[in-house]
């Protein structure tokens, strides 16, 4: 096989393998979010959650209660279209930010910060998964 053919085959193989990765990651994220895509961010996890902002806040507060996270602060902006709750569990500062995205969907982001530079993305993803599943 000549050099340019080997190069073409190699490139095609790399592209095929790389194309499969996002699907695997998305599948794992969807499983974590009970049918809703849960995506890792630089500080935690986010998803578009079915339900109004008020409904998602109620669910987040129920998850906080179940996880033993006392609510230490909350904020409401834009006539309730944007909300945030905060709490602490052990050495983690937990924040859930919610913003209306449509008539019945809410962009929800969860972060679990240990310190200024360290975030527990796994726990944030776990909490968001529980918010999504909460009824």
pLDDT digits (tens, 9 = 90+) for 67-106: 999 999 999 999 999 999 999 999 999 999 999 998 899 9
Average pLDDT over residues 16-34: 39
pLDDT score, position 36: 57
Contact between 125 and 119 under an 8 Å Cβ cutoff? The reply is no
Q: pLDDT higher for 127 or 5?
A: 127
pTM beyond 0.75: the answer is: no
Residue 12 has pLDDT above 90, yes or no: no
**Quick one: pLDDT at residue 9?**
42
């Amino acid at each position: 096989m000549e050099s340019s053919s080997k190069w073409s085959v190699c490139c095609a193989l790399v592209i095929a393998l790389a194309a499969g990765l996002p699907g695997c990651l998305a599948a794992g994220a969807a499983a974590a979010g009970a049918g809703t895509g849960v995506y890792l961010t630089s500080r935690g996890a986010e998803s578009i959650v079915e339900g109004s902002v008020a409904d998602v806040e109620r669910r987040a507060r129920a998850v906080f209660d179940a996880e033993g996270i006392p609510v230490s602060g909350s904020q409401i902006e834009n006539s309730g279209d944007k909300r945030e709750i905060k709490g602490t569990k052990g050495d983690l500062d937990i924040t859930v930010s919610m913003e209306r995205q449509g008539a019945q969907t809410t962009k929800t982001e969860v972060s679990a910060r240990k310190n200024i530079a360290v975030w527990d993305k796994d726990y944030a993803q776990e909490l968001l998964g529980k918010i999504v599943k909460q009824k």
